[in-house]
Amino acid sequence: MGQHRQEDANPNHGEPDSTRRRALKWLWSALGLAALAEFGWVTASFLRPRRATGEAASRIVVAGAEEEFEPGSVTPFPAGRFYLVRLDDGGFLALHRECTHLGCTVPWRPESGRFECPCHASVFDITGAVLSPPAPRPLDLLPVRLENGMVKVEAGTRLRRSAFTPDQVVRS
């Protein structure tokens, strides 16, 4: 009778603390649903195709005068996301800078005279033709116009192609 046990001090002795358990269960369920919703949103954003609209879709980049570009040169236009290529014969190509394999940015390597993808080692020549896979097709083209000695590129229009052909080159 003189002994007082610690358990007797708890008025809910023997009963589960159902309020706390319900609160924790509700909290974990809410956090799980929030994580699931975020995962679904990220997945949907990744899979949704990106499309240029409005001003970006019809944007014309004035690259410069024809004589500013040396034959055999490659000039990057980061804002337009393309390279302007002036071939040895004086013709022009505008090549989109994304690899056709998985979309990595493909840099021009002047020391090798090729476009070399850093992600999966695809290699393209100066015309954008595939020299080394895994890229399934050449770099996309952007339309080039020569007007009054000026080179203009339609930066919002990508032309998918299966091979390089000489008729893709724009000459004055």
Check pLDDT > 50 for residue 55: no
Residue matched to tokens 């979309």: 103
pLDDT band at 4 (very low <50, low <70, confident <90, very high): low
pLDDT above 90 as % of the chain? 70
The string of DSSP letters for 15-68 reads S--HHHHHHHHHHHHHHHHHHHHHHHHHHHHHHSPP---TTTTT-EEEEEEGGG
pLDDT band at 54 (very low <50, low <70, confident <90, very high): very low
pLDDT band at 13 (very low <50, low <70, confident <90, very high): low
Domain boundaries of the chain, sorted by first residue:
6-47, 60-168
Whole-prediction pTM: 0.67
Residues 60-168, CATH architecture: 3-layer Sandwich (2.102)
Instruction: Provide the residue count of the chain.
Output: 172
Q: Is 90 in contact with 172 (CB distance < 8 Å)?
A: yes
Structure tokens at 130: 């595939």
Check pLDDT > 80 for residue 105: yes
In angstroms, the CA 94 to CA 84 distance is 5
